[in-house]
Amino acid sequence: MSKITTIEPFTKGFVEAFSPELILFTGMLLLILVPNLGKGTFRIPGTQLRLPWLMGGTRFKFSSDPRLPAWIASITLGSAFLNVLYVFSQGLDRVLIVSESGKELFLINGFSRIFEMIFFGALALAAFSSMNRLQVKGIGSKVSENELYNNRRQADFYILMVTCALGMSVVALAQDLFVLFIGLELASFSTYVLVAFLKESKVGVESGMKYFIVGSVASGVGLYGLSMLYLWAGSLQFSVLAATFAVSGTTALPMIGIGFVLVGFGFKVSAAPFHFAAPDAYAGAMSPVAGVLATASKAMGMLGLVRMLLIVAAPESTDGSAVWLVCLGVMAAVTMTWGNLAALGSDNPKRMLAYSSVAHAGYMLAALTAVGAWNWDAAVAGDASAAAVAVMTALLFHLVVLVAFKLGAFLVLSILESEGGASRLSSLGGLAKREPLLAVAMFIFMISLAGVPPMAGFLSKLLVIMGIVRVAVGDMGAEITDGGIYALGDMHWVWWLALLMVLNSAISVFYYLRVVVVMFFDEPEEGREGPLPRGWQVRVAILACVLTTVLVGVAGDSLIRICEMAAQSLNYNW
């Protein structure tokens, strides 16, 4: 493992380390400025002299191009993504950015990098594929809601996308709980507005309001939890919190504080019972935005949970298993079951995907639970820390590939949405006849979500189950060789989470397949027999998702290794 370079902000190496964020920042500025470029002049006060300052007025042809903001955003996010990818491929330079007073602010390592990849990748895909989803026409007297997006509002849309990415990357890098929280709020506020972006429609604003109000309450609770932790530890630095937790972690104040913080992140990952707003939000938001919520935003929440639970309230603090073990186990079980059951009867594909996203959150929580089940402190020899790495690998892998097939599914819906809504299952009717390849893509996303081989979703679920089972089985394999006798009950109870998880994936097949059946079996809805809306960008994005889903499913070894590396870098000890 390479050495950690510690630098202060704006010193040597800072630009390299922060290059993705700087790219995003630049992109954001461009997004604000470029669409406003025009023949505007500035009249020097008191004179008739007008100096052209290129802002406002009649805009130039290129700056009034409705696709311009989307291109800028896509290129910005895409290059940020590529930048991270490049950095990643160059080996993991670990950089710790500290304040002048020595407080750790940001840590750049494999773990944060991979989350940045998830965030930027998801947002770049969403931005790129929204490009022709937002049809541009002049605002007439009678226009459909889709036609309302002139390029000025498009600029807003993409600015929010980029700020969202910025906020998320702050979350990824933060080494201070409060910094993390600020990043989280930045991203959250962006998503609130993005969800409510369809302000000309009832569902749009309603979903935005619900998402905003419930999200605010959750982050209010979380912030209060932070304040309690601060009151207890005197600092919100992870390193300090972890050290303090090891000493006096089991008192009431930190326990409740951690619980409150969990609420804040729980809302982001849409864990039960904080998930209620999520289906409404997904259903009301535009599909690409919903896709971002289900992937990047969820990854952000999960990242927060990981930081909180594994770094701060680390399992070795107590008798080997984490204090939050039961709590998280219950949460995982309830979340995955609830999500699947609710999705089972849902007729709205977007709600269905939302509930499925809740279920996937449950799977990830189960994985996280497994990490807490075993004392993975490096001091304990043997399989333990390797097991924890394995579970974390599974979690990261799941988050990464989720971008491909979850977002992909939403992108398919987005095409239908721009045609006139995708809020009923029957909207998908006859997709196989209308555009076979799109139906095949959707089919691949669905079976991947269900966890059917050979798709990426299967591999990710397999990894998660493997992680859980590995923790549950522990060292028994070796001990059996030495003469140990074990029964089912000797396995850690997280094994039952794995069982619940496989049963849940069996339930989930039911509703995923229903989508497939509708696409391949049912006739198109009336008035939707014709070809689907055109637009190559969204199709390219879907193709990218399909390829990722299939290729990772068939040959995911390198991604597993990348995730493993990232997982290893989560903790100095690992």
Partner 1 sequence: MDDWISMPLVGFPLIASIVLLAFVSNTNESMRRRLANPIRMATLVFSLVLLVITTGMFFQYFGNVSWEGISFNNYEFLHRYSWMESLGIHWSVGMDALSFPMVWLTTFLLPVTIIATWNEKNGATYFPILLAMGGALIGVFVSLDLFMFYVFWELTLIPMFFLILMWGGADRKYASQKFFIYTFTASVVMLLGLITLYFFQDPVNPLDYAGSMTGRTFDIPTITQHALMENSNGNWYLGTNIQKILFAMLMLGFLVKLPAVPFHTWLPDAHVQAPTGGSMLLAGVMLKMGAYGMFRLPISLFPHALEYFQLALLIIGMVSLVWGAIVCLGQTNLKKMVAYSSVSHMGVILVGIATMQPMGWAAALFMMFAHGIISPMLFAVCGAFKHHYHSMEIGAMRGMAKHSPWLATSMMFAWMASLGLPLLAGFVAEIMMFIALWYFLAAEGWSVFWMVGPALVLAVTAAYYLWSMQRTIFEGGDETQPPSSLHGEPVPDIANPEKLAMLILAFFTIVFGVMPWIALDMMHDWTIQIFEGLILPVLGNFKGGA
Partner 2 sequence: MASTEVTSTVHSEWMQYAPLIILLPMMAFAVILFLGRVFNGHPFWKKNLKEGGLIALPVMGASLILSLLLISEFLKGNSGVEDIFEKMAWVNTGIWNGGSTTESVSFGFGIYVDHVTVMLLFVASFLCLLINVFSIGYMNTDPINDNRNHRFYAEFVLFCSGMLGMVLADSFLWLFIFWEIMGLCSYLLIGFYYERPSAASAAKKAFLTTRIGDVFLMIGLVMLWDLFGSLDYAVVFDTHNIEMVAESSAGTLQWALGLMFIGAVGKSAQFPLHVWLPDAMEGPTPVSALIHAATMVNAGLYLVARMFPFFGAESLHGELDDLAFIIAAIGGITAVMAAAIAFVQMDLKKVLAYSTMSQLAYIFTGLGCAMYLANTLDWHHDSDAHYIVIVAFGASLFHLFNHAMAKGMLFMASGSVIHEVHHAHHHLHHDDDHHDDDFDAQSMENMGGLASKMPITATAMLIGSASIMGLPLIGGFWSKEGIIANAWRVAQDDPRFLFPAMCVLIGAAMTGFYMSRMWLKTFAGKPNNEVAAHVGPTNIWIKTPLFILTFVTLSSVLLAGMGFTHWAADTEYSFLSEKNLIDGILYEMGHAFANSDSFFFILTYVAIFLGAIVGPGVAMALYGGKLADGEDTKPWMRPVIRLSAWVNDRFHFDNTALRESSLAVALENRLYIDEYYDKAMLNIVAGFSNKVAEADTEVIDGTIKAIESGSQSLSAVVRSMTTGSARDYILMVAVGTLIISLLIWGVA
Partner 3 sequence: MIDPAWVSALSALMFVIGLGGAFTRKNAIIVLMCIELMLNAANMQFAAAAVHHGDTTGWVYTLFAIAIAASEVAIGLAIFLAVYGQHETISLDDVDVLRN
Grouping H, G, I as helix, E, B as strand and the rest as coil, residue 10 is coil
Whats the size of the chain, residue-wise? Answer: 574
Minimum CB distance to partner 1 smaller for 56 or for 436: 436
Residue 283 and residue 410: Cα distance in Å, rounded? 11
- Of residues 276, 261, 394, the one with CA closest to residue 328: 261
One residue of 180, 187, 221, 552 binding partner 2 per CB under 8 A: 221
Stretch that binds partner 2, among 239-247, 317-325, 401-409, 483-491 (CB under 8 A): 317-325
Q: In the complex, what is the shortest distance from the CB of residue 39 to partner 3, in angstroms, rounded to a whole number?
A: 31
Among partner 2, partner 3, partner 1, none, what binds residue 273 when CB lies within 5 to 8 Å by partner kind? partner 2
Residue 228 in the binding site for partner 3 (CB under 8 A): yes
Grouping H, G, I as helix, E, B as strand and the rest as coil, residue 51 is strand
Residue 213 in the binding site for partner 2 (CB under 8 A): yes
> Which residues are paired to 174 by β-bridges?
106
User: For 156-190, b where at least 16 C-beta lie within 10 A, e where not — what string?
Assistant: bbbbbbbbbbbbbbbbbbbbbbbbbbebbbbbbbb
Grouping H, G, I as helix, E, B as strand and the rest as coil, residue 31 is helix
Among partner 1, partner 2, partner 3, none, what binds residue 272 when CB lies within 5 to 8 Å by partner kind? partner 2
In degrees, rounded to 5, the angle at the alpha carbon of residue 78 between the alpha carbons of residues 395 and 27 is 120
| Amino acid, single-letter form, for residue 85 | L
Minimum CB distance to partner 1 smaller for 247 or for 437: 437
Among partner 3, partner 1, partner 2, none, what binds residue 477 when CB lies within 5 to 8 Å by partner kind? partner 1
Residue 227 in the binding site for partner 3 (CB under 8 A): yes
Residue 276 in the binding site for partner 2 (CB under 8 A): yes
Residue 460 and residue 400: Cα distance in Å, rounded? 9
Distance between first and last Cα of the chain:
10
In degrees, rounded to 5, the angle at the alpha carbon of residue 517 between the alpha carbons of residues 516 and 518 is 90
Whether residue 315 is preceded by a cis peptide bond, meaning omega within 30 degrees of 0, is no
Residue 216 and residue 307: Cα distance in Å, rounded? 21
Phi, psi of 273 (to 5 degrees): -95, 30
Residue 344 in the binding site for partner 2 (CB under 8 A): yes
For CA atoms 71, 77, 80, 82, the dihedral sign is negative
The answer to whether the beta carbons of residues 225 and 264 sit under 8 Å apart is yes
Among partner 1, partner 3, partner 2, none, what binds residue 437 when CB lies within 5 to 8 Å by partner kind? partner 1
Residue 267 in the binding site for partner 2 (CB under 8 A): yes
H helical segments located in 131-174:
151-173
The answer to whether the beta carbons of residues 357 and 299 sit under 8 Å apart is no
Residue 320 in the binding site for partner 2 (CB under 8 A): no
Minimum CB distance to partner 3 smaller for 190 or for 548: 190
String of contacts with partner 2 for each residue 489-528, x by CB under 8 A: ------------------x--x------------------
One residue of 34, 105, 223, 255 binding partner 2 per CB under 8 A: 255
CA 387 to chain centre: 24
String of contacts with partner 3 for each residue 187-216, x by CB under 8 A: --x--xx--x--xxxxxxxxxxxx-xx--x
Residue 84 and residue 169: Cα distance in Å, rounded? 11
- Of residues 189, 210, 354, 372, the one with CA closest to residue 279: 354
Residue 161 and residue 166: Cα distance in Å, rounded? 9
Minimum CB distance to partner 3 smaller for 219 or for 504: 219
Residue 238 in the binding site for partner 3 (CB under 8 A): no
Minimum CB distance to partner 1 smaller for 108 or for 570: 570
Stretch that binds partner 3, among 185-193, 264-272, 356-364, 559-567 (CB under 8 A): 185-193
Among partner 2, partner 3, partner 1, none, what binds residue 521 when CB lies within 5 to 8 Å by partner kind? partner 1
Phi, psi of 374 (to 5 degrees): -135, 140
Residue 242 in the binding site for partner 2 (CB under 8 A): no
Grouping H, G, I as helix, E, B as strand and the rest as coil, residue 164 is helix
Instruction: Specify burial of residue 149 (Cβ count, 10 A radius: 0-12, 13-18, 19+).
Output: buried
Q: In the complex, what is the shortest distance from the CB of residue 325 to partner 1, in angstroms, rounded to a whole number?
A: 20
Phi, psi of 421 (to 5 degrees): 105, 145
- Site residues, partner 1 (CB under 8 A): 383, 386, 389-390, 393, 436-437, 440, 447, 450-454, 458, 462-463, 465-466, 469-470, 472-473, 476-478, 480-488, 491, 495, 498-499, 502-503, 505-506, 509-510, 513-514, 516-517, 520-521, 555-557, 560-561, 564
Question: How many chain residues bind partner 2 (CB under 8 A)?
Answer: 43
Residue 432 and residue 410: Cα distance in Å, rounded? 17
Residue 178 in the binding site for partner 3 (CB under 8 A): yes
- Of residues 162, 164, 139, the one with CA closest to residue 66: 139
Residue 284 in the binding site for partner 3 (CB under 8 A): yes
- Range 91-130, binding partner 3 (CB under 8 A): 103
Question: How many chain residues bind partner 3 (CB under 8 A)?
Answer: 42
Among partner 2, partner 3, partner 1, none, what binds residue 478 when CB lies within 5 to 8 Å by partner kind? partner 1
Among partner 1, partner 2, partner 3, none, what binds residue 52 when CB lies within 5 to 8 Å by partner kind? none
Q: How large is the C-alpha radius of gyration of the chain?
A: 24
Q: Which residues bind partner 3 (CB under 8 A)?
A: 103, 178, 182, 185, 189, 192-193, 196, 199-210, 212-213, 216-217, 220-221, 223-224, 226-228, 230-231, 234-236, 279-280, 283-284, 346, 351
Q: Which residues bind partner 2 (CB under 8 A)?
A: 209-210, 213-214, 217-218, 221, 249-250, 252, 255-256, 258-260, 262-263, 266-267, 272-274, 276-277, 279-280, 318, 323-327, 330-331, 338, 341-346, 507, 510
